[in-house]
Amino acid sequence: MNLSQEDWKSKLENDPNAVILDVRTEEEWNEGIIPNAVLNDIYKGQGFLYKLDELDKSKNYYVYCKAGSRSAQACAIMNQMGFETTFNLEGGFMKWKGDVAFRDEN
């Protein structure tokens, strides 16, 4: 399901069963992430699918990429794999107005 930035953020804040999934590349990930996101690069193909297979399908997944199209594709793949609840962030990280975290440089 596609959600506006506001709806995605407010649903996420009130969801104790939420997992934030970032499907961008590692280079994009290094530019900043939505706090507590888990990286799974959709461009990794089979590796992306293997990582999805390891996830708990009973959780609610809040998925984002840079602009919203890769994450929409990821949600469709996840739904086909049996994930019941996926939310795509419309506009992606480019339009994100919430908190941003950066990976430790250590």
Residue 104 has a pLDDT of 62
pTM greater than the 0.85 cutoff:
yes
**Averaged over 46-68, what is the pLDDT?**
97
Domain hosting residue 52, numbered range:
2-95
* One-letter amino acid for residue 25 of the chain: T
Q: How confident is the model at residue 25 (pLDDT cuts 50, 70, 90)?
A: very high
The CATH number of residue 87's host domain is 3.40.250.10
Q: Is 76 among the domain residues?
A: yes
Q: What does residue 37 show for φ and ψ, rounded to 5 degrees?
A: -70, 150
Token pair listed for 86: 């996926």
Q: Report the run of H or E that residue 48 belongs to, with start and end.
A: helix 46-53
What letters, b where the CB count within 10 A reaches 16 and e where it falls short, cover 32-71?
A: ebbeebeebbbeeeeebeeebeebeeebbbbbbbbbbebb
Angle, in degrees to the nearest 10, between helices 46-53 and 69-80: 60
Question: What positions carry a catalytic annotation?
Answer: 65
Q: Of 56-65, 71-80, 82-91, 94-103, which range is least confident?
A: 94-103
Residue 10 has a pLDDT of 96
- How many distinct structural domains can be found in the chain? 1
Q: Is 103 among the domain residues?
A: no
Q: Is 44 among the domain residues?
A: yes
Residue 66 has a pLDDT of 97
